[in-house]
Amino acid sequence: MTLSERLGIRGAWPLIGVVHLEPLPGSPRWGGDLGAVRDAARRAAEAYKAGGLDALIIENYGDVPFTGGSVPAATVAAMAVLVEAVKAEFGPAVGVNVLRNDGVSALSVAAATGARFVRVNVLVGAMVTDQGLLEGDAWTVQRARRELAPGCRIWADVMVKHAVPVGAPRLEDLADDTYHRALADALILSGRATGAPSDPEDFRHVAQKVPDAPLIVGSGLTIETLATTMKVAHGAIVATSLKTAGRVDAEKVRRLVDHRDEVLATLRS
């Protein structure tokens, strides 16, 4: 199986942009105008497409403070509408992340929209977060996939950002469990927080332990770190470095994509 088949998206070293949704129904800061939320999401998707990114992941980023359990039904319904709007603008290569850790709702949105992949922040183990203790439930998530969206890929974080693991497990051991026991299709490694750089050594340790797992950068990628990162990972989720004054900047996206292509050409030569 090729990398594209395993990830559910095309691209030799895919760059995945993030559509950070404004507050949705059911969240504390919901403003009552889903049309405005949709317009902002489509503008972000348009900029990412103009810059040439390979895929997008759509998150209910504006819904802080997040729940540590299942999100309200209204949030799921709104995300399905917004994923369809983003697909209409960008194309079918989209994924879903329902924050903070609602993998079943993400798969429900994928079932309704045809999203290619979902991101699950805690699939294995337990993490102390600002939502309290989040515990992995791969049993429930995998059965939901089988019933709702059997073709959807599951990308799972290993020691997700904005969190501290319970029991001080080794990163590479948790990665091994996430891939081989929880059956994640790809592993995401991040820095401490949104926009914080990930550590290349983390990728090397995980690759030694789980050499067959696709490894995705979850935070902190910049055009300056891209070449080094491409030597240790298989793709990256990126957003913060591609924004100007809070909005996705198509020119920054294009420069990152062009540099990625240059590095790929060098690595292949």
Q: Give pLDDT tens digits for 130-161.
A: 999 999 999 999 999 999 999 999 999 999 88
- Average pLDDT for residues 28-38, to the nearest whole number? 97
Token digits for 186? Answer: 């790809």
Token digits for 200? Answer: 């290349």
DSSP H or E stretch at residue 17: strand 15-20
pLDDT at 1: 80
The answer on pLDDT for 112 being more than 90 is: yes
- Average pLDDT for residues 180-191, to the nearest whole number? 95
Cβ distance 68 to 61 under 8 Å? no
Res. 174 pLDDT band, cuts 50 70 90: very high
pLDDT at 193: 73
The answer on pLDDT for 269 being more than 80 is: no
- Report d(CA 79, CA 94) in Å as an integer: 12
pLDDT at 119: 98
Tokens 């889903």 locate to 34
pLDDT at 198: 83
Cβ distance 158 to 187 under 8 Å? yes
The answer on pLDDT for 197 being more than 90 is: no
Cα torsion 80, 83, 87, 88: sign: positive
DSSP H or E stretch at residue 162: none
Token digits for 11? Answer: 């691209």
Q: What percentage of the chain carries pLDDT values higher than 70?
A: 100
pLDDT at 194: 76
DSSP, collapsed to helix, strand or coil, labels residue 239 as: coil
Cβ distance 205 to 173 under 8 Å? no
Question: Which bin fits 11, alpha (ψ -120 to 50), beta or left (φ > 0)?
Answer: left
pTM above 0.85, yes or no: yes
Tokens 């980023």 locate to 61
**CA contacts within 13 A on the Cβ side of 85:** 21
Token digits for 169? Answer: 């497990």
The answer on pLDDT for 206 being more than 90 is: yes
